[in-house]
Structure 1
Amino acid sequence: MLHSVKAKRVDVMWKLYSDMLECGIVGDVDTIGYLVQAFCMENNAAKGHELLLQILEAGRVPSNSVFNKLISAFCKSGNYAKVSALLHTMIAKNCSPDIHTYQEVIHGLCKRRMRHEALRIFNNLKDRGYFPDQVMYTTIIHGLCKMKWLGDARKFWFEMIQKGIIPNEHTYNALINGLWRTGNIEEAEKLYKNMCEIGYGETTVSYNMMINGLCSNGKLDVARVLFDQMTEKGIAPDIITYNSLIQGFCKKGKIPEGTYLFDQLLKQGLQPSTASYTCVN
Structure 2
Amino acid sequence: MNEFLSRFVYIMRSKVSEAYPNCNKETIDGMLAVIVQKVVLEMEKGSINDMLNLVKETQFQDFSQELWRAVWEVCNFIVEDMRKMRKREELKKHLQCEEVKEMCKFAQEVGIRGDMLKELRLKWAQEKMAETEFYRGLEQMREEENALSDEDVASSKDGSLQSEEGERVEGENAVGEETQSFVLPKRKGKIQYKIYGLDLSGPKWREVAERLEDAEKLIAPQETKEIEGKCKLVMDKMLSLSDDEDPYQLLVEWEELLEPARIDWLALLERLKEKNKPRLCFKVAELVLDKKSFEPNIRDFSKLIDAHAKEDRIADAERILGKMTEKGISPDILTYMTLVHMYSNSSNLDLAKQAFEDIRARGFQPDQRIYNSMIMAYIKAGLPKSGESLMREMEARDIRPTKQIYMELLRAFAQGGHVDGAQRIVNTMQFAGFQPDLESCSLLVEAYGHAGDPEQARNNYDYMIKAGHKPDDKCTASLLAAYEKKNLLDKALGLLLHLEREGYKLGTHTYAVLVDWLGRLQLVAEVEQVLSKIGSKEEVPFKVHVSLCDMYARARVREKALEALGIVEEKKEALSGEEFERVIHGLLAGGFVQEARRVHEGMQGQGFVSSDPLKVALMAAQAMPRQKPVVR
Which TM class, normalised by the smaller chain length? 0.7 to 0.9
Q: What residue is the counterpart of 1:261 in the other structure?
A: 560
How many percent of aligned residue pairs carry the same amino acid?
15
Q: Give the aligned partner of residue 86 of structure 1.
A: 390
The amino acid that maps onto 1:246 is C
Q: Deviations over 1:96-153 (max 9, x none)?
A: 1233323333333445544334323322332343213322222221121111112222
Distance, in Å, in 2 between the alignment partners of 1:114 and 1:236 is 31
1:114 and 1:16 map into 2 onto residues whose CA distance is 41
Change over 3 Å in CA distance of 1:11–1:186 after alignment to 2: farther
Contact 2:549 2:562 in 1 (8 A): no
**What corresponds to 1:52 in structure 2?**
356
For residues 208-229 of structure 1, give each alpha carbon's deviation from its aligned partner in whole angstroms, at most 9, with x where no partner exists.
2221022234433211112244
Name stretches of at least 5 consecutive residues in structure 2 with no aligned partner.
1-304, 573-579, 593-632
Aligned to 1:62: 367
Q: How does 1:231-270 map to 2 (within 5 A)?
A: 232-233=535-536, 235-237=538-540, 239-251=542-554, 254-255=555-556, 257=557, 259-265=558-564, 270=569
Query: What CA deviation, in whole Å up to 9, does each residue of 1:66-93 have, x standing for no partner?
Result: 423322332434373x435412331233
Which of the numbers 130, 134, 141 marks the counterpart of 2:434? 130
> Number of residue pairs matched?
270
565, 583, 587: which one pairs with 1:276? 583
1:95 aligns with 2:394: no
Q: RMSD of aligned C-alpha atoms? A: 3.7
Q: TM-score, with normalisation over the residues of structure 1?
A: 0.74
- Contact 2:394–2:400 (8 Å) recurs in 1: yes
Conservation of the 8 A alpha-carbon contact between 1:148 and 1:178: yes
Q: Which moved more, 1:1-10 or 1:54-63?
A: 1-10
Gaps of 5+ in 1: none
Residues 1:96 and 1:268: Cα distance change in structure 2 (over 3 Å):
closer
Whether 2:425 is the aligned partner of 1:118: answer no
Cα distance change, pair 119–60 in 1 and its aligned pair in 2 (3 A)? closer
Query: What is the CA–CA distance in structure 1 between the aligned matches of 2:482 and 2:492, rounded to whole Å?
Result: 8
Residue of structure 1 in register with 2:457 after alignment: 153
Displacement, 1:52? 2.9
Aligned to 1:104: 408
Structure 2: how far apart are the matches of 1:175 and 1:133? 17
Contact 1:107–1:139 at 8 Å: present in 2 too?
A: yes
- Tell me the residue number matched to 1:226: 530
Q: State whether structure 2 residue 438 is matched by structure 1 residue 139.
A: no
Moved over 6 A (4+): 1-4, 15-22
The residue number in structure 1 matching 2:217 is none
1:234-271 CA-partner distances (Å, limit 9, x unpaired):
544455323313323555xx32x2x2222223565843
- Between the aligned partners of 1:107 and 1:180, the Cα distance in structure 2 is 21
CA contact (8 A) 2:333 2:359 kept: no
Q: Distance in 1 between matches of 2:308 and 2:503?
A: 43
Between 267-276 and 101-110, report the one with greater CA deviation: 267-276
Q: Report if aligned partners of 1:239, 1:270 keep a CA contact under 8 Å in 2.
A: no
Distance 2:469 2:306 in 1: 33
Contact in 2 for aligned 1:242/1:262 (Cα 8 Å)? no
| Secondary structure, counterpart of 2:448 in structure 1 | helix
1:35 paired with 2:342, answer no
Q: Deviations over 1:36-80 (max 9, x none)?
A: 12212444323323423444555454334x423322332434373
Moved more, 54-63 or 206-215: 54-63
Question: In the alignment, which residue of structure 1 is the partner of 2:239?
Answer: none
Whether 2:516 is the aligned partner of 1:212: answer yes
CA distance in 2, matches of 1:154, 1:4: 48
Q: Distance in 2 between matches of 1:4 and 1:70?
A: 19
* Aligned-pair CA distance for 1:279: 1.7
Instruction: Give distance in 2, aligned partners of 1:190 and 1:3.
Output: 56
Q: Distance in 2 between matches of 1:7 and 1:160?
A: 41
Q: Which residue of 2 aligns with 1:174?
A: 478
- Provide closer, same or farther for how the CA distance between residues 4 and 180 of structure 1 changes in structure 2, counting only shifts above 3 A: farther
Contact map agreement 1:242 1:261 (CA 8 A) in 2: no
Who wins on radius of gyration, i.e. which is larger? 2
1:165 to 464, 469, 478: 469
Quote how far apart the aligned CAs of 1:33 are.
Answer: 4.0
| Pair 140,6 (structure 1): closer, same or farther in 2 beyond 3 Å | farther
- Once the two structures are TM-superposed, the CA of residue 179 in structure 1 deviates from its matched residue by 2.1
Structure 1 residue 168: Cα displacement: 2.0
In the alignment, is the contact (CA less than 8 A) between 2:414 and 2:447 conserved in 1? yes
CA distance in 1, matches of 2:357, 2:427: 29
